[in-house]
Structure 1
Amino acid sequence: MKISFKNAIALSLIPQIVIVKCLGNYSEFVENYYSTGFYPFISRLFRILFGWIPFSIGDLIYFALIILAITYLYRNRKSIWKNKLAFVRNVLMILSVAYFTFHFMWGMNYYREPLSQKLQLSPNKEYQDLLEFTEKLIQKTNESQVAITKDSSLAVNIPYSQKEIFNKTIQGYDHLKTIHPFLAYDRPSVKKSLFSTGLTYMGYAGYLNPFTNEAQVNGLLPNFRFPVVVGHEIGHQLGYSAENETNFIGYLVTANNNDIYFQYAGYAYALGYCLSDIRSSDKEEFNRLLSTLNPGVKNNFQEMSNFWNSYENPMEPVFKSIFNSFLKANNQTEGIRSYNAVVSLLVAYHKQKPL
């Protein structure tokens, strides 16, 4: 019996999933032939195509697709109800095309070799090493804050526009490639998301559009956090999909920037994760370390807390749950908790390269 073209596309979703999961067992193959082979070519091509445009093409495409979908459902609601199987087939066909495009354009990076392997690191989970590193981070953060404000009680106000932060981050990558050549970045395509308000209500600081390869940053973020998020999203653009790895890359490019405001933002970002880890295991030690932070640094942390709290809403946990499931389905078994796994990378890295 002859299978129609639409049915064939819809049914191809199953073998696609099997192939992706099978390839996922061969991280060396993915690393050599996709992540450092095909992907850099396709990524650079799309950065050239869309990087010069000042607004997000990917956001406009998403918006157009949502409007088209709603319009289609409304206009065809009666025929959909009468032909449920055909509608399910059409949905599966769209999912099949999206699944293929996602993995072809970016998604196979979820199955590449760990960044720790490239850096020759063994993720460090020794509690004493974490304590020592956190104390050093506090020292560096406090020193940077005082160097900027000349007053330990004042919060740091990063004086740059978001465009300037984009440019300084790109300059930071130019410097970082002298330390780690595999993190070289050219033909930039990094932009504020047109949906920054929606992203904030969902609890997201940014995202990479895998279909246009545009690094999207939440334009409402306070400047205290903006530089690291820009570095994080460019890390995704360079082909690193794991959130702990792009958190680490975002820290590296920010803390190694020649600009002291960026250094402060990078140190404070890493410090937040380290303190969170310590608080979960020893609240007394957490309180002791917290008491050694300059009041101005605490004010910056409070600024971020106030920002996210002002957008808190009942739907945020739903969006976080969806994203958590998405990460788990894409080879990140810890889901959203994988963001915090950056700590073991930070400790191991600075065991080799002390602050």
Structure 2
Amino acid sequence: MSKNKNIYIAVSLIPLIFLVKILGRFPQFVEDHYSNGVYPVLSSIERYVFGWLPFSFGDLVYAGAIIIIIRWLLRNRRRFFKDTKGWFIEVFAVITIIYLAFHIFWGMNYYRQPLHVTLNIQDEYTSEELLDLTNRLIDKVNGIQEELASNDSTEVVMPYSKNEMLKRAPEGYEVLKQQYPHLEYHPRSVKRSLFSIPLTYMGFSGYLNPLTNEAQVDGLIPAYKFPTTTCHEIAHQLGYAAENEANFVGGLAAIHNPDRHFQYSGYAFALRHCLNEIFRRDEQLFNDYMEKV
């Protein structure tokens, strides 16, 4: 790109940020025109284009981008001192393009209506309601565990390979869409990450590539976590950007999956979050509840 064009692009970052923040003040507008308008079309096209590939094209894009960035930095290391202004202009021009692409293809979902608003449910609850739900989840987890593992103290072993679980995960969304049509998931594009080893070291279980709308799952995480992690990443694909909302939708999808092993993973996932909240409120009560699990 020419220097003048780089300047125009770099300077446009500031108004772009303001535009995004202004749109973020109108969540219903974003919900109607982006999350339920532009985004479903864009994401479906991306999944049609890349979903059929047996590997993550987005991971290759990331790898290529890292190589290009390192190469550019090495080639322009001296220029940083000789032409500092031009160096920063190019950097901010690239940042502007990435920022724009991110928000067009997925990022505006951060500014949609909160999930509890669109589902018309309360987002606050009492400690009594939390404990009641936790007790019911403990009964569910222990009951399914005894069913699948003969007793409530034996580990539940997933009978499927991780590739099989990737294929089975959308079945929960097939059930959910009967009540919530906006949770229909098609076409599919969920894959094992090519970067599972570094992901594991960094503590990430999965991620969504916003530019290709491919959901990637760390292939090295424990098998019992794999169903809910996969469902969580699919929730991101459906436009639920906030982690807590993707947790909620993904957990529901796992629980509503026809497969009992997926249900076990979903209930255990929900129970873990409830126990974490109990710990935050009352550590002694948390210890009491841990004895029931």
The TM-score with structure 2 as length reference comes to 0.97
Alignment partner, residue 234 of structure 2:
234
Listed as ranges, the matches of 1:1-355 within 5 Å are: 4-293=4-293
Deviation of residue 11 (structure 1)?
Answer: 0.2
- Equivalents in 1 of 2:109, 2:16: separation in Å? 16
Tell me how large the CA RMSD over aligned residues is.
Answer: 1.0
SS of residue in 2 equivalent to 1:207: strand
- Equivalents in 2 of 1:37, 1:283: separation in Å? 45
- Equivalents in 1 of 2:79, 2:19: separation in Å? 35
Check 1:76–1:284 CA distance in 2 against 1; reply closer, same or farther (3 A cut): closer
Q: For residues 219-272 of structure 1, what are the alpha-carbon distances to aligned partners after superposition, in whole Å with 9 as ceiling and x for unaligned?
A: 111111000010000000001101110000111000111111111101100101
Deviation of residue 51 (structure 1)?
Answer: 0.1
Q: For residues 169-190 of structure 1, what are the alpha-carbon distances to aligned partners after superposition, in whole Å with 9 as ceiling and x for unaligned?
A: 1122111111211101111010
- Equivalents in 2 of 1:76, 1:139: separation in Å? 61
Deviation of residue 109 (structure 1)?
Answer: 0.5
- Equivalents in 2 of 1:120, 1:196: separation in Å? 37
- Equivalents in 2 of 1:152, 1:98: separation in Å? 49
- Equivalents in 2 of 1:286, 1:277: separation in Å? 9
Q: For residues 105-140 of structure 1, what are the alpha-carbon distances to aligned partners after superposition, in whole Å with 9 as ceiling and x for unaligned?
A: 000000001111121101133111001110110000
Deviation of residue 71 (structure 1)?
Answer: 1.3
- Equivalents in 1 of 2:79, 2:18: separation in Å? 33
Alignment-mate amino acid for residue 151 of structure 2: D
SS of residue in 2 equivalent to 1:77: coil
SS of residue in 2 equivalent to 1:66: helix
SS of residue in 1 equivalent to 2:169: helix
- Equivalents in 2 of 1:153, 1:88: separation in Å? 59
**Contact 2:172/2:255 (<8 A) preserved:** no
Deviation of residue 79 (structure 1)?
Answer: 2.5
Alignment-mate amino acid for residue 209 of structure 1: N
SS of residue in 2 equivalent to 1:4: helix
Count of aligned residue pairs for this structure pair: 291
The TM-score with structure 1 as length reference comes to 0.80
Deviation of residue 218 (structure 1)?
Answer: 0.7
Deviation of residue 76 (structure 1)?
Answer: 2.6
SS of residue in 2 equivalent to 1:179: coil
SS of residue in 2 equivalent to 1:216: strand
**Contact 2:175/2:257 (<8 A) preserved:** yes
**Contact 2:110/2:242 (<8 A) preserved:** yes
Alignment-mate amino acid for residue 88 of structure 1: F
- Equivalents in 2 of 1:244, 1:110: separation in Å? 12
Deviating 4+ runs (over 4 angstroms): none
Alignment-mate amino acid for residue 205 of structure 1: S
Q: For residues 61-101 of structure 1, what are the alpha-carbon distances to aligned partners after superposition, in whole Å with 9 as ceiling and x for unaligned?
A: 11111111111221232223211110011110000000000
Alignment-mate amino acid for residue 168 of structure 2: K
- Equivalents in 2 of 1:73, 1:49: separation in Å? 32
For structure 1, list consecutive stretches of 5 or more residues without a partner in the other structure: 294-355
After TM superposition, the structure 1 stretch with the greater mean CA deviation from structure 2, 163-172 or 243-252, is: 163-172
**Contact 2:171/2:258 (<8 A) preserved:** no
Deviation of residue 146 (structure 1)?
Answer: 0.0
Deviation of residue 104 (structure 1)?
Answer: 0.5
**Contact 2:28/2:113 (<8 A) preserved:** yes
- Equivalents in 2 of 1:263, 1:204: separation in Å? 22
**Contact 2:46/2:212 (<8 A) preserved:** yes
SS of residue in 2 equivalent to 1:208: strand
After TM superposition, the structure 1 stretch with the greater mean CA deviation from structure 2, 77-86 or 209-218, is: 77-86
